[in-house]
Chains A and B, each alone.
Chain A
Amino acid sequence: MTLREIVEKLNATVYLGQSRLDEDVTTAFASDLMSDVLTLKDTPMLITGLCNVQTIRTCDMATLDIVVFVRNKKPTPDMVELAEDNDMVLIATSYSMFKTCGLLFDAGIQPLY
């Protein structure tokens, strides 16, 4: 599934990474717990309700570069700036974590575990 399709399915807003929307996404991981994100060996798309600079830093360290913020959390300008340095994609949806995960799972995005 392409990022563009994901954005459409989630009725989402793209905050960063317009130029990467044709990239394919195969796996996702959903968590508000950055401790948990830091234990991942793979680099899935992250679905999270945690919207602060630490989310971006954690992704930087864990080499994740696509983040979906759920439930109306909007990335702040300092988050976008930091994410820009790392060439990340940031998108935000008003849908809940549950709905977001359900829709994407249904559309064929794979879990890690």
Chain B
Amino acid sequence: MHQEYTVIEGDFTNAGTASSSVKKTLKQLGVAPQIVKRVVVALYEAEVNAIAHAYGGKVLVDIEADKIHMVVADKGPGIPDIAQAMQEGYSTARPEVRDMGFGAGMGLPNMQKNVDVLNVTSEVGVGTTVEMIVNFV
């Protein structure tokens, strides 16, 4: 099953649209609640990042019998040093982002903890792509 969502630039109220919808779909498919939580927490973190640190983008979701494959691809400033960005506590979040309850530098490490495969690729001045896979069993 393939799903696509658009993440709109600067639209914080929209953050979570893709994750909410994926949550409903996985529940309907009878995926175990602990696995659903790992999937949607990771996807939500990636969605928030695409709004908080970039200019929006696309979410592509493929659900198979035994796993979910998610890609969040944004247009944005990119990440100059991915290893640094992956460190807990590292954040360049703007004050508006902090006002929304984000910007603690915990998102990427939290994605890492929740998914089975995480690939972050980024080109400075172009954008960032976060690919995640969670196995259902």
Chain B residue contacts of A50, Cβ below 8 A = 100-101
A71 is an interface residue with CB less than 8 A from chain B: no
Contact B33 A63 (CB under 8 A): yes
Q: How many A-B residue pairs have CB under 8 A?
A: 65
Chain B residue contacts of A34, Cβ below 8 A = 100-102
Choose among B37, B44, B105, B113 the residue that contacts A57 (Cβ–Cβ < 8 A): B44
Q: How many residues of A contact B (CB 8 A)?
A: 20
A55 is an interface residue with CB less than 8 A from chain B: yes
With A38-B44, A38-B45, A54-B100 as contacts: A63 and B20 at CB distance below 8 Å: no
Chain A residue contacts of B12, Cβ below 8 A = 53-54
Chain B residue contacts of A61, Cβ below 8 A = 16, 19-20, 23, 37, 40-41, 44
Contact B110 A60 (CB under 8 A): no
Name B residues whose Cβ lies closer than 8 Å to a Cβ of A. Answer: 12-13, 15-16, 19-20, 23, 33, 37, 40-41, 44-45, 100-107, 110, 113
